[in-house]
Structure 1
Amino acid sequence: MASFSTRDSKTIFFFFGLRAACLSLCLVGSVAELQRFEHPPKADGSLSFLVVGDWGRRGLYNQSQVALQMGLIGEKAEIDFVISTGDNFYEDGLTGVDDPAFNESFSNIYTAPGLNKQWYNVLGNHDYRGDAEAQLSPVLRTIDKRWLCLRSFIVNAEIVDFFFVDTTPFVDDYFTNPKNHTYDWRGVTPREDYLSNLLKDVDSALKDSSAKWKIVVGHHTIKSAGHHGVTQELVTQLLPILKANNIDFYVNGHDHCLEHISDTHSEINFFTSGGGSKAWRGDIKWWSPEELKLYYDGQGFMSIQMTKASADIAFYDVFGNVLHKWSLSKHLRSATNRTFTYA
């Protein structure tokens, strides 16, 4: 399980009941300094975890079957934690901390011993359609100790730093063309200030990181051949920061598929793990074969096993079959960090 960082007393206060100060974790009109957590690797220095997204459907659309395979792979790989890439509860998030959907879509589904680990979760656009702050509340942690959901935060795991980024507020359509949906923007407005401060904090945290690996996790796609495709707001605003700070992987959900896309203009690899339940068969857009390493339009999840020197990625379908394997050996890269102006 995660341990508290002595470098950030606010993190400790959060878990010991100062709900009034930390329920939102993002102050209205600005972004507080990113919360930091520590999750040490195994004794041999390795780290193993699963990634799943777009799952919360009370076991339907093969969610339970995906959970079964996650439990089997999780136990075999002796995972340290699970990452959720958002859209945790369909269709419209949670109604509050007492919503039975929390148990029906999470606690009662991911019951395997191999999944009895810390879960690090971000919010997706469907989560923002409900009571978004309910998922951030420490009350849920008293219901299921595995649950940890914040807007944006950092997990330090010695060999790798994870940067979880709240991507939903970047998308213009949710504000200008909500299509009869209501979004919970408490803690986000005024939007321009929120995004400006978030980008500054992410850039600063990436620059300060001395970890061998840097992984950024968000809900929305940056590169995707799936239904939603490219999120242009992230390409314009977030991607230049990721490139300048030499991150290794960007991991997301949002498109209900499994993908691995490389980048011919940088060393970033983009992984979509949005197959936790309902998938979109045959919904694919053309993408350069030079970059598209995997596109699978069904349910499943991914695993990552890491050491200081290497990372091994595998994608699994709903039956536990391996769809795609890929490995990367770590080498030193030199690049000059660029300075950005935040609107």
Structure 2
Amino acid sequence: MINHLSTKTLFILVLNLSLCTFLFPAPLPVSARLQRLHHQLNNNGSLGFLVIGDWGRKGWYNQSQVAVQMGIIADKLDIDFVVSTGDNFYDDGLTGVDDPAFDESFKYVYAARSLQKQWYTVLGNHDYRGDVEAQLAPKLRERDSRWRCLRSFIVTTDVAELFFVDTTPFVNMYFEDPKDHKYDWRGILPRELYLTNLVKDLRLALSESKAKWKIVVGHHGIRTTGHHCDTPELVTQLLPLLEEYEVDFYVNGHDHCLEHVSCQDSKIRFLTSGAGSKAWLEENKPHESCGVKFFHHGQGFMSMKLTKNTARFVFYDVFGKPLHRWKTSLKKLHTSI
């Protein structure tokens, strides 16, 4: 048929296609580019922060009690910020930027003066079940200036760098067998391209990092003896990268417990702080290649204090009682397995 078209007709067709391409360009590839945020520390030369995960239940399931103790410990330690490991709003994230659950589960619960610091937050799988863009929206920062939630990003300080990683898109189950749940995958699809870009950008950021301490934060566990066990997709796609660039700590939530895991073949310390509200009263499970230094299946949170040469963290229960303390030097951690 095209053989019968005149030269003038062909010219018009080509011109129209060119105009369509100009006016309606193809969608840009999904990017997981890591945004870098600089956090100015207190003047004492150290970095202190709290870690809480799996918390947003409008104060129920001891969330309010944990928040009270967080305020007390934050005041004692004079923390610089708070880290949230995801599952910020149960059961299905936020319905939009005006959802009252933001105030009921965050603003009014963590109201202590000592907690009026920046909150650096990643998304969990329950957050993806709601309007995920709402948690990322600048409008939430207008409602509470503490809130800083991005998919993947870096917090740079004088003492350490924290690499926040969006782990939910790695997990096959949410795509292949979501059951009755609906996930908001805007900004993620095509998934393969998103994950490729994320791993590439994380590799670049880790390779360029000159930080004394490197901490990676994600929602899902890599090595854990908790309810969900290891996340296979992270073991194969993320762990080798963390090993290659000598990450010191991997911090996660997802399991509703407090946990400190050390593995025979790794220098990384795996720390779970996902006990911000509802906890699972069940024993931890054996792990074939890792040992459990500490496990608590009740509510609580974690603190971390870093200087240029030392790191220490403490796990606290719902009453603010220290359950597990651990301290190391930079040299010791990097020369022993």
TM-score (ref. length: structure 2) = 0.89
CA offsets per residue over residues 82-140 of structure 1, 9 Å max, x none? 00000000000000000000000000100001101000000000000000010000000
Q: Which residue of 2 aligns with 1:150?
A: 150
Closer/same/farther in 2, CA of residues 290 and 89 from structure 1, 3 Å limit: closer
Within 5 Å, give how 1:22-171 maps onto structure 2: 29-171=29-171
CA offsets per residue over residues 10-62 of structure 1, 9 Å max, x none? xxxxxxxxxxxxxxxxx974224211100122212101000000000000000
1:174 matched to 2:174? The reply is yes
Indicate the structure (1 or 2) with the bigger Cα radius of gyration. Answer: 2
Q: Name the CA distance, whole Å, in 1 between partners of 2:108 and 2:117.
A: 14
Gaps of 5+ in 1: 1-26, 336-343
CA offsets per residue over residues 248-298 of structure 1, 9 Å max, x none? 000000000000001211210000000000000014211369621011000
Q: Name the CA distance, whole Å, in 2 between partners of 1:289 and 1:323.
A: 24
Counterpart residue type for residue 206 of structure 2: L
Q: Name the CA distance, whole Å, in 2 between partners of 1:283 and 1:108.
A: 32
Three-state SS of the structure 2 residue aligned to 1:135 is helix
**Contact map agreement 1:28 1:189 (CA 8 A) in 2:** no
Q: Which residue of 2 aligns with 1:19?
A: none
Q: Which residue of 1 aligns with 2:212?
A: 212
Q: Name the CA distance, whole Å, in 1 between partners of 2:28 and 2:91.
A: 26
Counterpart residue type for residue 237 of structure 1: Q
Three-state SS of the structure 1 residue aligned to 2:331 is coil
Task: State percent identity of aligned pairs.
Answer: 61
Q: Which residue of 1 aligns with 2:304?
A: 304
Give the CA deviation at 1:332. Answer: 8.2
Three-state SS of the structure 1 residue aligned to 2:301 is strand
**Contact map agreement 1:29 1:191 (CA 8 A) in 2:** no
Counterpart residue type for residue 134 of structure 1: A
Which of the two has greater helix per residue?
2
1:265 matched to 2:265? The reply is yes
Q: Name the CA distance, whole Å, in 1 between partners of 2:243 and 2:278.
A: 32
Q: Name the CA distance, whole Å, in 2 between partners of 1:136 and 1:182.
A: 18
Counterpart residue type for residue 246 of structure 1: E
Q: Name the CA distance, whole Å, in 2 between partners of 1:200 and 1:232.
A: 19
**Contact map agreement 1:314 1:323 (CA 8 A) in 2:** yes
Across the aligned residues of Structure 1 and Structure 2, the Cα RMSD in angstroms comes to 1.6
Q: Name the CA distance, whole Å, in 2 between partners of 1:324 and 1:102.
A: 31
Q: Which residue of 2 aligns with 1:275?
A: 275
Three-state SS of the structure 2 residue aligned to 1:291 is strand
**Contact map agreement 2:267 2:333 (CA 8 A) in 1:** no
Q: Which residue of 2 aligns with 1:253?
A: 253
TM-score (ref. length: structure 1) = 0.88
Q: Name the CA distance, whole Å, in 1 between partners of 2:225 and 2:272.
A: 10
Q: Name the CA distance, whole Å, in 2 between partners of 1:44 and 1:83.
A: 20
Q: Name the CA distance, whole Å, in 2 between partners of 1:284 and 1:334.
A: 28
**Contact map agreement 1:53 1:85 (CA 8 A) in 2:** yes
Counterpart residue type for residue 207 of structure 1: S
CA offsets per residue over residues 57-91 of structure 1, 9 Å max, x none? 00000000000000000001000000000000000
**Contact map agreement 2:32 2:194 (CA 8 A) in 1:** no
1:313 matched to 2:289? The reply is no
Counterpart residue type for residue 317 of structure 1: D
Gaps of 5+ in 2: 1-26
Which one is further off, 278-287 or 137-146? 278-287
CA offsets per residue over residues 218-277 of structure 1, 9 Å max, x none? 000001111111000000000000000000000000000000001211210000000000
Q: Name the CA distance, whole Å, in 1 between partners of 2:198 and 2:172.
A: 16
Closer/same/farther in 2, CA of residues 269 and 332 from structure 1, 3 Å limit: closer
Q: Name the CA distance, whole Å, in 2 between partners of 1:316 and 1:334.
A: 26
Q: Which residue of 2 aligns with 1:189?
A: 189
Q: Name the CA distance, whole Å, in 2 between partners of 1:73 and 1:155.
A: 22
